[in-house]
Amino acid sequence: MALTSAGIGSGLDVASIVQNLMTTEQGPLTNVTQQKTSTQAKISAYGSLQSALSSFQTTLGNLSNISKFNALTVQSSDASTVNATATGSATAASHSLQVDQLAQSHKLALAPKTSLADIVGMGTLTIDFGSYDSTGNTFTAGNKAALTINITTGNNTLSGVRDAINAANAGVSASIVNDGTGYRLVLSSKDSGAGNSLRISASDADGTNTDNSGLSQLAYDPTALAGSGKNLSQVQEAKNALLSIDGISISKPSNVITDALEGVTLTLSKVSASPQTLTIGRDTSTVEANVASFVKAYNDLNQTLRNLTKYDEASKTGGALLGDSTARGLAFQLKSVLTQSVGSTGALTSLYQIGVTFQKDGTLALDSSKLKSGMESNFSEIAGLFAATGKATDSQISVAGNSSSTLAGNYAVNVTQLATRGSLAGSDAAGLTITAGVNDAIALNIDGVDYNLTLTAGSYASSSALAAELQNRISAAGSAASVNVNAGMLSVTSVNYGSSSSILLGSANGNANLFGNSAVSSAGLDVAGSINGVAATGKGQNLIGATGDANGLILKVDGGALGARGTVNFTLGYAYQLRQLADNYLRSDGLLTARTEGLSASVTRLTRQQETLQARLAVIEQRYRDQFTALDTLISSMQSTSSYLSQQISMLQSNS
């Protein structure tokens, strides 16, 4: 009889025997599986560390900005009259401020019409911006380019004129107001201030440009007589804001004033009945919050590191990165940065001076009272403890930037050449008569960009008026170059400094009339000099360290004398140094990436080993089963033969 299950014929427990043998054979596979599990746990742990370090890096990015520690507050005794904000360049002080007049934009209105579809007229409107002097009854054009609008059969209604002016988008807004007696077209200068008064002239299709009919209804010359070129009514005069700060009278075109007090933006809302007090003070609460953020960010990262590397004596287990050299190295470097002093020559050189100290458990703690004391005595130096900062002994030299290679230090500065701007100087007095198609075209190349300009034809009262027209055209074309006049000769100067700055004449019919036949073009020069005795690279006004400790240090030289210009003390604050450390670990070729990629390669290798061992074990198990099944079959056969022989022997014995 054939056996279908091992052990049935002989009683041999084949399954148990094979299982026990395979347990022994499983040893290498178990080791590989444990290695793979441990490696995967490390990859997961590195992911947690990378996430924690990335959060730390983000916090440090904010704290590395010096403006975070130079915050100022501004308090107004009457915020409904004047409100203010301040940047780090402002000076803590108290000021007396009186608002005598708010700035206004110029508003003009047309006489009422019965319908929006009423025909106004056809022709051309020209809108100028400038200043009106009521005492001398004169209008002086400003720097804005004149606006020309064509009114045709397609837009000659009241609403059509409104839409045509708004479509020009050139400093004037038009609206229609129903005042109860009819529809009135209202024109408003978009910019406030006495220098933005409107003057509107009409070239009327009916042949008369100043009467109160047709398109000339919209004419407004403030120097003319009402009804004879002064046909719109003035509903709001153009005015400057008038105020005084500490008794000094100030006139500004806008109610938002950014250049009266350095680093302070004033917003005027109403005239003040009496002087207001404006108090600019240090924003200590923001600085305290920033320092607290720094402490918390470090402690969060430190806790993650401790969790991943600790050993639990009670459970006899350790974190996934226990004994890991990369994690240990990061923890050591973090603490090393925080326990050394920054290379400052000021009063603050260490965190403990502002109340930030290490505790026994490795965390940082903040003593708020000590921080407040530090802010009271050395507020301006706290930024240097955290950000990369520099201070020059020369007021016309400032630190504009640095590279990751720049080291802290005290650097001597020597300037051998100051930066200049590219310019074009006319050789003869400018011709004041501009004729369309004859001498109205000007071609300039400003800092490598071509500008083809067309001047408004006409006879100009002076070289200054012609310069203002050229300035308008240059500004409207998108360039910030400035136009100046000297003895009737015009010049154009780039806003940029350095060798890439230049003003060149192109080919156009008006160039000679404006600048003469021998205009001189001068390219800009880069600043030149050395930092700490090593020749630096000049780019515009920036002197850039090229080698050594000052490599990448950028110093802006605003002017001054040639020769030795004092020193610059450059320091790398704690937040800046720690951010660099975090960057080194987190970048694409950093330690964490390299370690994770190495572990991932190990997982791949161990997976292949698992597959190989599993296939080998399957073969071994099948061989064991085949061998013991054969043994079971043999034993069963022998038992059957034994039983048969026993029966035969018994029969022989019974027959004898």
| Helix axis angle, 325-339 to 284-309, nearest 10° | 150
* Average of per-residue pLDDT across 411-427: 97
Of residues 7 and 371, the one with the higher pLDDT is 371
Catalogue the long-range contacts made by 84-88 (C-beta closer than 8 Å, 24 or more residues apart).
84/264, 84/265, 84/266, 84/267, 84/278, 84/280, 85/264, 85/265, 86/263, 86/264, 86/265, 86/280, 87/263, 87/264, 88/263
CA distances (Å), 39 to each of 32, 102, 449, 598, 610, in order?
A: 10, 72, 59, 10, 14
Query: Residue 112's pLDDT is what?
Result: 96
Of 69, 86, 60, 65, nearest to 383 by C-alpha is 69
Separation of first and last alpha carbons in the chain:
32
Is 453 in contact with 474 (CB distance < 8 Å)? yes
Per-residue pLDDT band at 81 (split at 50, 70, 90): very high
Per-residue pLDDT band at 488 (split at 50, 70, 90): very high
Per-residue pLDDT band at 10 (split at 50, 70, 90): low
Is 421 in contact with 500 (CB distance < 8 Å)? no
CA distances (Å), 365 to each of 292, 296, 352, in order?
A: 9, 9, 10
Exposed / middle / buried, residue 583 (Cβ in 10 Å: 0-12, 13-18, 19+):
middle
Compute the distance between CA of residue 86 and CA of residue 79 in angstroms, rounded to an integer. 15
Sequential DSSP letters for 370-401: HHHHHHHHHGGGHHHHHSEEEEESSTTEEEEE
SS3 state at 79? coil
Q: Is the dihedral of CA 269, 271, 277, 278 positive or negative?
A: positive
Q: pTM (2 decimals)?
A: 0.68
Fold of 421-522: Alpha-Beta Plaits (3.30.70)
One-letter amino acid at 278 equals L
Per-residue pLDDT tens over the stretch 321-368: 898 899 999 999 999 999 988 876 678 889 999 999 999 989 999 999
- CB-CB neighbours of 77 under 10 Å: 15
Q: Which two tokens stand for residue 450?
A: 């071509």
Spatial CB neighbours of 315, under 8 Å, sequence gap ≥ 6:
none
Predicted confidence (pLDDT) at residue 620 exceeds the cutoff of 80: yes
Query: Residue 556's pLDDT is what?
Result: 96
Exposed / middle / buried, residue 125 (Cβ in 10 Å: 0-12, 13-18, 19+):
buried
Please give the radius of gyration of the chain, using alpha carbons only, rounded to the nearest integer.
43
Per-residue pLDDT tens over the stretch 429-464: 999 999 999 999 999 999 999 999 999 888 888 898
Sequential DSSP letters for 445-482: EETTEEEEEEPPPEE-SSHHHHHHHHHHHHHHTT---E
Query: Residue 56's pLDDT is what?
Result: 92
Query: Residue 11's pLDDT is what?
Result: 66
How is the beta sheet containing 264-268 ordered, strand by strand?
A: 82-86, 264-268, 256-257
SS3 state at 419? coil
Lowest average pLDDT, out of 99-108, 138-147, 564-573, 596-605, goes to: 138-147
Per-residue pLDDT tens over the stretch 632-646: 788 778 878 888 888
